[in-house]
Amino acid sequence: MPRISANLTKNVVEANTNLVSNGMIALAPDENASTLPLDLVMVLDVSGSMSGTGIQVVIDSVLYIQSMMSTNDRLAIITFNHDAQVHSNWVGKNDTISALNASGGTDFGAAIDCLLNFLGQNGSDSTRAGIALFMSDGHGGSASDDDVASIPEFGYTMHCLGVTNGANPDLLEQMAELARGRYFDAPGFDDVKQKFTNLFNYGKTTIYSAPVLNLDIASGVEISEVMEVNGTALAPSGSLGPGKHSLALCNVTQGNVSQVSFKIKVDNISLGENKLMDITFMGNTETMTVKGSKVDTEILGANTNHAVTVSKTTAKATRALKDGDNDTATRLVTKLTTMGETVPAATSSATILSTVTGTTDKGQIHEAIGTITVNTKGETITRDD
């Protein structure tokens, strides 16, 4: 069974008062769980703007990624321009794929509709790692956010590759976040090959594919700013109040822990143990509580969980970078650097984030922060490490 750890910054607070605190849920996969074979759906832009270099990158990419497949992997291809269609149903490593040509307009909505229809017939297999790969120059009509956000409901995450020089990363990164994937900046085929190496390692080490975190929040409790450590917003519509909520997560991979940070408000802390929420993940349930006390020494002597602060600050910094708020990101990285004098995990976060703070290339920023994760030792690392 996976391990669930749920903590506030402090687990003992003053009774008979309202509480505002930061919290974190850490989800560690079962150490004995096996990685999953890969179901990969490539969604390829074959519109007129991809003519020439762009379509050649796409063709070379399909052949290259097919060559990297193992016996148990499957590949399907959807192509789109002003319309979309299934170009190749499931094929294996040695199967023939018909030719690709570029022409026409660009409609991301048609591409996502076609993908959802395909996943409706072929998705939701928990024994396989479902990954969609959207390759485009990023210039086209946008898809519905709700449609993109529904991709994980089929057990898939979707990564987006910005190909060709001049690719627009903003829409592609937004789609990747909604579908719990990553954005990769890959102008040319050499870049694509490097990204595919990272992506296949990511796919080949998947233990839980597009897993769901279920929360049953107690009366008088509200959580907000719910994010994974790489800044992915899990509840973009706002706060979550009392009742049951389901949150789609990024894939959980071998050797890594999924951290979900949040801000919590409690109307009144009673004396003794207070139930805040039940947390269920992959069949395992944990209850998050906080103790209300009137003993000053007990309150003041309660341990501070620095991992909560590091995770929350890292998530807020990466969110600021995604939103183009460099001033806020810089301030938060400085905070992590200062914390690093006593909390080593903060130093690793600050080091990673400082590599992109101040960078003006949006594609590089989106790609770099998408790699941020946490290992089983609680250290902030990048997936490429």
Residue holding tokens 């989106």? 366
What is d(CA 193, CA 191) in angstroms, rounded to the nearest whole number? 5
Check whether residue 167 and residue 276 sit in a common domain.
no
Selection from 290, 317, 287 nearest residue 302 by Cα:
290
Could you tell me the CATH number of the domain that includes residue 155? Answer: 3.40.50.410
Q: Which residues of 322-341 are buried (b: 16+ CB within 10 A; e: fewer)?
A: beeebeebbebbebbbebbe
What is the enclosing helix (H) or strand (E) of 133? strand 129-136
Q: Per-residue pLDDT tens for 151-180? A: 999 999 999 999 887 778 888 999 999 999
Mean pLDDT across 242-251: 95
What is d(CA 380, CA 17) in angstroms, rounded to the nearest whole number? 34
Residue pair 98/88 in contact (Cβ under 8 Å)? The answer is: yes
Higher local confidence (pLDDT), 149 or 166: 149
Check whether residue 57 and residue 170 sit in a common domain.
yes
Q: What is the mean pLDDT of the chain?
A: 91
Position 277 scores a pLDDT of 98
What is d(CA 167, CA 180) in angstroms, rounded to the nearest whole number? 21
Which of the listed residues 140, 173, 204 is the one where a domain comes to its end?
Answer: 204
Question: What's this model's pTM, rounded to 2 decimal places?
Answer: 0.91
Check whether residue 30 and residue 62 sit in a common domain.
no
Position 384 scores a pLDDT of 63
Mean pLDDT across 93-116: 93
Weakest mean pLDDT among 185-189, 201-205, 378-382: 201-205
User: Which DSSP state fits 92?
Assistant: -
Which of the listed residues 204, 231, 249 is the one where a domain comes to its end?
Answer: 204
Distances (CA, A) of 113 to 41, 109, 119, 150, 196: 14, 6, 10, 11, 25
Residue pair 231/192 in contact (Cβ under 8 Å)? The answer is: no
Amino acid, res. 172: L
Q: What percent of the chain has pLDDT over 90?
A: 64
Mean pLDDT across 275-284: 96
User: Residue 189 is encoded by which pair of tokens?
Assistant: 């085929």
Position 350 scores a pLDDT of 92
Q: Per-residue pLDDT tens for 199-241? A: 777 677 888 989 999 999 999 999 999 999 999 999 977 899 9
What is d(CA 156, CA 179) in angstroms, rounded to the nearest whole number? 8
Check whether residue 54 and residue 147 sit in a common domain.
yes
Check whether residue 156 and residue 238 sit in a common domain.
no
Number of folded domains that form the chain? 2
Going by pLDDT thresholds of 50, 70 and 90, the confidence category of residue 377 is confident
Check whether residue 371 and residue 224 sit in a common domain.
yes
Higher local confidence (pLDDT), 197 or 340: 340
Amino acid, res. 161: L
Check whether residue 190 and residue 259 sit in a common domain.
no
Check whether residue 48 and residue 171 sit in a common domain.
yes
Amino acid, res. 267: D
Could you tell me the CATH number of the domain that includes residue 294? Answer: 2.60.40.10
Mean pLDDT across 352-380: 84
Confidence check: pLDDT of 2 > 70? yes
Check whether residue 169 and residue 53 sit in a common domain.
yes
Which range of residues forms the domain containing residue 343? 1-35+208-385
Position 202 scores a pLDDT of 66
Check whether residue 147 and residue 180 sit in a common domain.
yes
Check whether residue 198 and residue 305 sit in a common domain.
no
Check whether residue 118 and residue 186 sit in a common domain.
yes
**3 state SS of 361:** coil
What is d(CA 150, CA 154) in angstroms, rounded to the nearest whole number? 8
Q: Per-residue pLDDT tens for 50-103? A: 988 889 989 999 999 898 888 889 999 999 999 999 999 999 888 889 899 999
Q: Per-residue pLDDT tens for 328-357? A: 999 999 999 999 999 988 999 999 998 888
Return the ∠ at Cα 183 (arms to 181 and 185), rounded to 5°. Answer: 160
Reduced DSSP (H G I as helix, E B as strand, rest coil) percent helix, strand, coil of the chain, to 5: 30, 35, 35
Give the DSSP per-residue string, 148-175.
Answer: HHTGGGGTEEEEEEEESTT--HHHHHHH
Position 176 scores a pLDDT of 94
Q: Per-residue pLDDT tens for 3-15? A: 999 999 999 999 9
Confidence check: pLDDT of 254 > 90? no
Mean pLDDT across 15-41: 93
Which of the listed residues 179, 204, 229 is the one where a domain comes to its end?
Answer: 204
